[in-house]
Structure 1
Amino acid sequence: MEYAMAQEQKNKGASRLTKDEEDDLKQFLLHDMDRNGTVTAQEIIDFMEARGQQLSDEEKKERRDWVKLIDTNEDGAVSVEEFIAMMERSRMMDSTLELFKFFDKDGSGFLTKEEIRQAMKELGSEQSDGELDVMMKEYDTDGDGKINYEEFAKSLG
């Protein structure tokens, strides 16, 4: 029953997923040895060992740490929903980094008022000095006169 629910969640989430992400989800579901719709670290370890891989203690620890990281409801297992959310966060982080690089014209790792002006103009939105000053004041949380990646990512919500 729980496995059918996981398949339903997968199908709902699959419309939001890329082909590679759908393939990753299928691989993830292969690890669900008891077919209850969630995957534990032990299921991942058992699955890999059943396929002939000998995992070191460090590799087993890495699998346990991965589950703890993705397991947002802290039930000791990763559900389909949690796995999809992890993939979406990863995709968003990749998109945010690409957008930051677009704004960071000199590749310094920081955005200046002039870089923001130039990027916004390229996007078809010219900003006045006053508007740029407001942006800088709001998003430059450490007050160094530049926006770093962390500040940029936070500004996007």
Structure 2
Amino acid sequence: MSISEEKLKEIFRKADTSGDGKIIPRELKALVKTEFGAEMSDQELVAMFCDLDRNDDHAITWEEFKTEMMKAPRRKAFSDKFRELDKDGSNTLTKEEIRQLLKGDGCSEDEIVAMFSKVDTNQDDIISLEEFMVMV
């Protein structure tokens, strides 16, 4: 089920606490927490913000926000898959959880380690939802 443009506009207006028609990083972090119940590291925030800020003006406009959020059904499917793979409920994927997924696909241990290292961009030995979304 996709979200209506009217609902997206409401979410954007709530996030834009300064009322200037743009979302800045602090407002994006608050939006993710209130709308999706997720905490973000500074690195995850920067990565998400840069993805949304298509014109590199250091703010997310309504058009940038709408364009990305219209992709939400696809993102939800990936988010649901992430939660399914997260066997321990930690909101992260461990090497073991990735290993179980990829062993079934016939990947070697070296391939699994290489893939995990590539996706784990902050090298904290876990894969966050944001890192997973980049991977898929």
TM-score by length of 2: 0.51
Amino acid at match of 1:103: L
User: Stretches of 4+ moved more than 4 A in 1?
Assistant: 67-70
How many residues of Structure 1 are paired with residues of Structure 2 in the alignment? 99
Amino acid at match of 1:117: R
Over the aligned positions, Cα root-mean-square deviation in angstroms equals 3.8
Alignment partner, residue 92 of structure 2: 110
- Bigger Rg over Cα: 1
Percent identity over paired residues: 32
Matches of 2:132 and 2:62 in 1, distance apart?
Answer: 30
Residue 124 (structure 2) aligned to one of 134, 141, 144? 144
Alignment partner, residue 12 of structure 1: none
Q: Is the 8 A contact 2:102 2:112 kept in 1?
A: no
Q: Counterparts of 1:12-91 in structure 2 under 5 Å?
A: 21=3, 24=4, 28=6, 68=22, 83=66, 85-91=67-73
Q: Which runs of 5+ in 2 are unaligned?
A: 24-51, 56-60
1:49-86 Cα deviation digits (max 9, x unpaired): xxxxxxxxx97x76x67x6469x78xxx967xx85x34
Q: Which runs of 5+ in 1 are unaligned?
A: 1-17, 29-40, 45-57
Matches of 1:109 and 1:154 in 2, distance apart?
Answer: 16
Q: Counterparts of 1:118-133 in structure 2 under 5 Å?
A: 118-121=100-103, 124-133=104-113
- Higher relative CO (Cα under 8 Å, sequence separation at least 6) belongs to 2
The 1:126–1:102 alpha-carbon spacing in structure 2 relative to 1, beyond 3 Å, is farther
Amino acid at match of 1:148: S
